[in-house]
Amino acid sequence: MSGTAILGNFCGDEGKGRIIDYYVGKNNIDMVARFSGSGNAGHTIQIDDQKFILRQVPSGILHPNVNCVLGNGMVIDPLVLEEELNNLTTLGIDFKDRLLISKNAHVIMPYHILADKNNEESDHRVGSTKRGVGPAYEDKIGRRGIRISELSRCHNQVFRNLNRWNIFNQNCISDSVFEERRKDCLNSIERYQDILNPFVCDTVQLVNDALKHGSRVVFEGAQGSMLDIDHGTYPFVTSSNSTIGGVCTGLGIPPQYINKVIGVFKAYDTRVGLGPFETELFGPESDSLRNAGHEYGSVTARPRRVGWLNLNWLKRSCMINGVTELALTKLDVFSNWSSRIKVLTSYGYQSFNGWKSDITKCRKWHELPFEAREFVSYIENYLQIPITMISVGPERNSIIEKEISQVKGNLLKYIPRLEE
């Protein structure tokens, strides 16, 4: 019985993709199963000079013997999937017998994308990715969504849904446009089936069987806890559960299979879209951090909002998710940082000295400069959770692994220090 959940702990873009890719390689993982979200995600893995951006396909796909599952909790855009698969084929990655898609996952239809775009032009905008994710989940919860298994017999439902979205669409369309959209939709459906059918199966049975027979499985999170529909900064959230509960519902597995929960977070925080961001930076300081961290969307290239690491939020996120270990990414961004580095705690801001050396070649904990180790240890002590992986560069293997025993001795009784 071995299942590890790897989840984002802020607003997405924490570096889950590369942490999953690394963890899979190091721990002989047999299967990576994604439980929520859609093509709104952009999980980046860099190998040498080549960047792989995965949006719906799980981040284990670059390892040849790993099965990759798109679970029932996802809403799938077949055209985005086709593009991803074409890219993988071009790069010589064979996925044929190891990509498995849940027959119960819902399909993002063209009218969902239109509805999402329309919503972003209204007063109710949340700064969505405009991929149709919110409207597709709306239809799912409204019990009128279209599951992959129903694609061959959904024509009447498509008609009803089109009508419904048209009614709620402020810019009501004429009958002729309506008819055109209906035809487009029905034509798309055949294409969707061609794309999806080779991979569709009962993934609930498959994942449970794998776990029961001792396979090592990673449950891949998308987005982050602050974007969770229940626990995030509602209404500025995505429309699914990106926290731990989503693993059970989005894959159909019982909680006792989740043996380890790795929370991924960056050395600072970022957010895309609207919504509260307590530690947000503005002006030249935000530009410096955004540029140092290359904080531009992996798919859209939109500049991300940036700010200091909020440990209060991280603590809450660790509580909700039952995080047992942490993975800290982008520590190298603060190399040669000239001003103080800050983190927000319940006592106010705590600040640290930057380090004046390049840490991208460090592979052992003791190789890190004192200031960097002080920063990491402070976070561990504050949260009382070990940080077992630290990424120090974009390359696949630029990760420092810390033994739990090495960490435990380090978890001192936390003594609060206010900003000096």
User: What string marks each residue from 252 to 291 as x (binds ligand IMP by CB under 6 A) or -?
Assistant: --------------------xx------------------
Which member of 13, 84, 139, 220 binds ligand IMP (CB under 6 A)?
A: 13
Distance (Å, whole) CA 46 – CA 360: 14
Window contacting ligand IMP (CB under 6 A); options: 89-97, 174-182, 221-229, 343-351: 221-229
- Residue 13 annotated among the catalytic residues of the structure: yes
Distance (Å, whole) CA 382 – CA 362: 24
- Residue 43 annotated among the catalytic residues of the structure: yes
Give the shortest CB-28-to-ligand IMP separation in angstroms.
Answer: 28
User: What string marks each residue from 21 to 50 as x (binds ligand IMP by CB under 6 A) or -?
Assistant: -------------------xxx--------
What would the two tokens of residue 134 be?
């919110």
- Kindly state whether residue 391 participates in binding ligand IMP, applying the rule CB under 6 A: no
CB atoms within 10 A of CB 278: 11
Total site size for ligand IMP, rule CB under 6 A: 21
Choose the catalytic residue: 43, 106, 112, 231.
43
Instruction: Please say which residue, 59 or 388, places its beta carbon nearer to ligand IMP.
Output: 59
Instruction: Please say which residue, 102 or 238, places its beta carbon nearer to ligand IMP.
Output: 238
Distance (Å, whole) CA 299 – CA 292: 19
Which member of 34, 106, 112, 131 binds ligand IMP (CB under 6 A)?
A: 131
User: What string marks each residue from 101 to 130 as x (binds ligand IMP by CB under 6 A) or -?
Assistant: -------------------------xxxx-
**Tokens 């200031």 belong to which residue?**
371
8 A C-beta contact, residue 189 and residue 151: yes
Distance (Å, whole) CA 60 – CA 69: 10
- Kindly state whether residue 11 participates in binding ligand IMP, applying the rule CB under 6 A: yes
**Beta strand 341-345 with 325-329: parallel, antiparallel or unpaired?**
unpaired
Residue 282: exposed, middle, or buried by beta-carbon count in 10 A (0-12, 13-18, 19+)?
exposed
- Kindly state whether residue 133 participates in binding ligand IMP, applying the rule CB under 6 A: yes
SS3 content of the chain, % helix, strand, coil (to 5): 40, 20, 40
Residue 257 makes CB contacts below 8 A (sequence gap 6+) with 1, 3, 211, 217
Choose the catalytic residue: 13, 30, 116, 269.
13
- Which residues contact ligand IMP (rule: CB under 6 A)? 11-13, 40-42, 126-129, 131, 133-134, 222-223, 227, 236, 238-239, 272-273
Just list the catalytic residues: 13, 43
